Amino acid sequence: MANISFNAVERVFHQGDKEIVAVGGVTLEVADREFVAIVGPSGCGKTTCLRMAAGLEKPTRGTVSVGGVPVTAPGPDRSVVFQQFALFPWKTVTQNIEFGLRSLNIDAKTRAERVKHYIEFMGLAGYEQGFPHQLSGGMQQRVAIARAYVLDPKVLLMDEPFGALDAQTRVVMQEELVRLARKHPRTVLFITHAVEEAVYLADRVVVMTRRPGLIKEIVDIKSIRERERWDQVERIEDVMDQPSFVGLRSHIWRLLRKQHAGDPQ
């Protein structure tokens, strides 16, 4: 396992002669096995932060390190779950999940066992030989999550993984992810624009502002979750009815709304 640290990270895009500051100096430490969610309006640079941690984009200034090692390129130690699933349409469910494992030096038997474990854990049994287009959106995202977890990566990077799902499926997937995170605790950086989702899933919620993308506030959820014993509550809608949950949600909403009020655009 490992931590993720953003050290004064900036990312500037060039659009013609104009400079667009997507991320304007972010310093953030995600501890080992911590689940951190970043929320913010579209264009606040939250996805860019994740992509820099994945090695899909390079910071203009500053560094992103994972486990103390600066990130320079994508790699299987930092699995990404994409909003658009990005499953290979020409591969079966099993082949998709196994894809990353085949890059590592793991013997066929261990590989098959690990794939089988995640197929069962993610409720994909019976769909092993199916192709992505034969599955519903929720099932496809289960495959994508299994494909990322099966590598046993140092960190997991999830880019609005439930953004493309309908409301009911989304709730089911959120519960699934909590179940998964309890069984296999990992360092997770989770990007979303859904405040409730962030409060429900994360240990800490990072609120970002737009242009330049900066951290406005980091809200601690874990201490309140443990104090109020949300873990004892079975269903997501009951957790979301708790006064402590409502309080946190409203607090984050106000932070986001304030930026809109002050937004000249």
Binding site for other proteins (CB under 8 A): 54-56, 73-76, 78-80, 82, 84, 86-91, 99-100, 102-104, 131, 133, 147, 151
Give the DSSP per-residue string, 181-241.
HHHS--EEEEE-S-HHHHHHH-SEEEEEETTTTEEEEEEE-HHHHHHHTGGG--SHHHHHH
Query: Nearest approach, Cβ of 30 to other proteins (angstroms)?
Result: 18
Cis peptide before 212 (omega within 30 of 0): yes
Query: Nearest approach, Cβ of 235 to other proteins (angstroms)?
Result: 33
Specify the residue, 99 or 253, whose C-beta has the smaller distance to other proteins.
99
3-class secondary-structure state, position 121? helix
Specify the residue, 41 or 100, whose C-beta has the smaller distance to other proteins.
100
Specify the residue, 80 or 171, whose C-beta has the smaller distance to other proteins.
80
Specify the residue, 161 or 225, whose C-beta has the smaller distance to other proteins.
161
- Write out 233-258 in H/E/C secondary structure: CCCHHHHHHCHHHHHHHHHHHHHHHH
Specify the residue, 36 or 158, whose C-beta has the smaller distance to other proteins.
158
Tell me the C-alpha distance between 155 and 52, whole Å: 13
Query: Nearest approach, Cβ of 178 to other proteins (angstroms)?
Result: 24
Specify the residue, 109 or 133, whose C-beta has the smaller distance to other proteins.
133
What does the block give as tokens for 177?
């992810």
Query: Nearest approach, Cβ of 261 to other proteins (angstroms)?
Result: 35
Tell me the C-alpha distance between 103 and 151, whole Å: 10
Query: Nearest approach, Cβ of 39 to other proteins (angstroms)?
Result: 23
* Contact (CB, 8 A) for 157 and 86: no
3-class secondary-structure state, position 110? helix
Query: Nearest approach, Cβ of 92 to other proteins (angstroms)?
Result: 12
